[in-house]
Amino acid sequence: MRTVAVLGATGSIGRQALDLIGRHSGSFKASVLTANQNHEALFDMVRAFRPEAAGLVVRPKELPEDVRFCDWYFGEDCSERALLAHRPDDCLAAVVGIAGLGAVMTALAACERVLLANKEALVTAGDLVMARARELGKTILPVDSEHSAIFQCLEGANGNPPRRLILTASGGPFRTWSAERIRGATVVDALGHPTWRMGEKITVDCATMMNKGLEVIEAHHLFQMPEAALDVVVHPQSVIHSMVEFPDGAILAQMGAPDMRGPIGYALGYPARLPYGAVPLDFAKLTLTFEAPDEARFPCLRLAREALREGESAPVVLNGANEAAVGAFLQGAIPFGDIARLVEGALQTVPKRVIDSLEAVRAADREACAFVRKALKAS
C-alpha cells in the first residue's frame, strides 16, 4: 500500500487521480488532500477517501462535524505543512501555476517520489527543482501527457541517447482561425478545447499555444535536452501523445485515446500500468494528421522558445506575465490577443535577474505580474 498526497485535489488532475486511487484502493491510500478554496468539493473528498490530513489555502468559515476526524491545515503553506507532518510515499503536485512551486520543493524533501503535474514549477525553477531532486536522490515522474509519453518512449531506449524529442500539440480551438479572428476570441471560444478536458488556466494556455511553449521548457529540464532538439508538431487528434527520435532516425511514439488518467496512472503506478477502463484505439477508424505550428498566429510559442534560450529569469517572467494576463482575460478585462502582447512586453521590459534561489524566482514573478497590472491600468 502506497500513501499518496494529492495537492490540488479538487482540480481536473486531482479528481482524475482520485478516480484512479478509488479504482485501485488495495494499492493506494490518499493520505493528504489539499485544495485552494473549493471547500465543499474537498469536504466530499475527505468523506469519501478518509485521509490523515487535509488542507485549504482559503480557510472555510467552519468545518463540518463529519470531516473533523483528520488533521486540518490552512493558509498558503497548508500543503507544505501537511507533507512535512505526514510524509506520504508519493506526492501528486497538481496545483495550477507558480503557487505550486514551494510545495514541489517540500515534496522532494518529504516524499519518495513527486508525480509532477505542475509544469510551472519546472518552467520557473527547473534548474533548482532538478538539482534538488538529484541532491536528495528523489524521483520526479512526469504527469503532463506529452512528458509522460516521452518518458515512456525513453524506457525503451536501452541507453541510446535521443536525438530529438517531438511534442505533439492539439492546436487548440483556434487552430484553423485567422490571426484577426483569434485576436478577438472570447472566453467561451477559448474554453472550448477540442480533445482534452482540463482546468480553465491550462485550457486558455492551449488556445494561445503558450501551454506548448511551457511544455518545451518543461521537457528541457526533465530530459536535459537543448531547445534546438525539442520540436513541436500539431496533431489535432491527440492520439500520439509525443515521440522520441534516436540517432538512427527511428522514432518511438506513445499513443492512446486522450484521457489524462493514462499519464496520471502511469506516474502513480510506475513501473506498473494501472487499468482504468481506457477506450481501446480502433486503428481502422483513425486518421492521424500533422502540421507545423504557426508562430505568427500563435506568438506565445515563439516567446517561450526565446525565453528558454535566454534563460535565467526570462522563463519566470514569461510564466508570471502569462498567469496574470490569462487571469485578466478570464475576467473579461482584456481581449485574447492581449495575452501574447503583454507577455512580450514583460519579456522586453522586466529587468533580467540571476535565478539562484526560490526568492529570486518569486521576485522575478512579482515583477512580471506588476508589469501586467500596470499595463492593464494604463489601457
Give the residues lining the site for Mg ion (CB under 5 A): 144-146
Which distant-in-sequence residues (6+ apart) come within 8 Å of 248 by Cβ?
none
In the bound state, the residue with its beta carbon closest to Mg ion is: 144
Complex with Mg ion: residue 16 or 145, whichever CB lies closer:
145
Which distant-in-sequence residues (6+ apart) come within 8 Å of 139 by Cβ?
112, 113, 114, 133
* Exposure b/e, 312-337, CB count within 10 A at least 16 = b: bbbbbbbbbbbbbbbbbbbeeebebb
Closest of 212, 233, 179 to residue 341, by C-alpha: 179
Distance (Å, rounded) from C-alpha 79 to C-alpha 115?
A: 15
Complex with Mg ion: residue 78 or 115, whichever CB lies closer:
115
Complex with Mg ion: residue 145 or 313, whichever CB lies closer:
145
Angle between helices 78-86 and 101-110 (to 10 degrees): 0
Take residue 349 and report the three cell numbers written for it: 521590459
Cβ 219 to Mg ion shortest distance, Å: 10
Complex with Mg ion: residue 144 or 365, whichever CB lies closer:
144
Cβ 144 to Mg ion shortest distance, Å: 4
Complex with Mg ion: residue 6 or 198, whichever CB lies closer:
198
Complex with Mg ion: residue 145 or 319, whichever CB lies closer:
145
Outline where the chain has alpha helix (H).
12-23, 39-49, 78-86, 101-110, 119-136, 145-154, 179-183, 187-190, 200-208, 210-223, 261-269, 299-310, 314-330, 337-349, 358-378
